[in-house]
Amino acid sequence: MFQNIYSPVQNLKINPFSNLFVKRDDLIDPYISGNKWRKLKYILESTIRQNKNHLVTFGGAYSNHLVATAAAAAKFGFQSTAFVRGEEVKNEMLLLCSLYGMQLIFTDREGYKDKPLLFEKKFGQDNNAYFLDEGGASTEAVKGCAEIVDELRETYDHIFVAAGTGTTAAGLLKAIQNKSLNTQLHVIPVLKGGEFILEEISKYTKISENLNLHTTYHFGGYAKTQPELIAFIKSFTAQTGILIDPVYTAKMFYSILDLQKKGAIKATDKILAIHTGGLLGILGMKDKF
């Protein structure tokens, strides 16, 4: 049912790097994007195994996870509902969710905090409803993200990934450990105070010396940006032909160039950046460009 995904590894020609590659998870699907598909894959299997057909999930009004869930639900024959944080708004991402048939329930910020309670109140009696946490965080998601490493045909000195919850990073680290690779995993939290990612990762696998957490590339915090990051996106995209978004992947790619400048990694090291997708994030920030 979920075979044949398209995510090639491509060489990136950016000075001064001679061995920089990118895994194009952004090409998996325009809307079931990148790591959100990795996370959803085993969640959908688990939903089917439990004989359920209605995904109930949670997210902000600009959540990549909501669009991915709505699109995947429609594609594979599930119903979908989302509790959306905050007062009712309209935007491009929620429009896509609606087109894919997702029911949107706007929920005030206080009520939104208790997700199990929201689910219980509205869907407690509905045997078809499957509780899917915000961002898709779950052991199924970690298993799906580990497959990114399983697909690699070569080994790398460094793998870079952006982190929101850290679930994707946990899957990558787990796979690196299981295969006893010497690869260093570099995790770039896009939120301020990214140290919490360690705790999140340790729910799924042990913290080992393969893990490098870089907490200084948040550019002010989640969905925050600075002119320097916007300028970086413009020059990166024009140079490489690869779009990156200001919320996640731009911060990650920026860190690679910066860490090389600071001498933490070498321009000749073999480096793989995971393009986790999320390009719709550009729409949420179009005024910044």
Cβ proximity to ligand PLP, 144 vs 259, nearer residue:
144
Options 43-51, 203-211, 224-232, 273-281: segment touching ligand PLP (CB under 6 A): 273-281
One of 168, 205, 225, 255 touching ligand PLP (CB under 6 A):
168
User: What distance in Å separates the CA atoms of residue 196 and residue 189, rounded to the nearest whole number?
Assistant: 9
- Closer to ligand PLP by Cβ: residue 9 or 243: 243
| Window 191-250: residues binding ligand PLP (CB under 6 A) | 248-249
Q: What are φ and ψ of residue 124, in 5° steps?
A: -55, -30
Helices 92-99/64-76 angle, 10° precision: 20
Two structure tokens written together for 47? 């939903």
Q: Total residues contacting ligand PLP (rule CB under 6 A)?
A: 18
Enter the DSSP assignment of 215: T
Output 102 or 163, the one with its CB closest to ligand PLP.
163
Say which residues have a Cβ less than 8 Å from residue 260's Cβ, sequence separation at least 6: 16, 17, 266, 267
Residue of 289, 259, 288 lying closest to 273 (CA atoms): 259
Binding pattern for the stretch 108-147 against ligand PLP, x by CB under 6 A and - elsewhere: ---------------------------x------------
The footprint of ligand PLP on residues 17-36 (CB under 6 A) is: 34-36
The amino acid at residue 125 is Q
Across-strand partners of 129?
Answer: 54
Contact footprint for ligand PLP (CB under 6 A): 34-36, 64, 135, 162-169, 248-249, 276-278
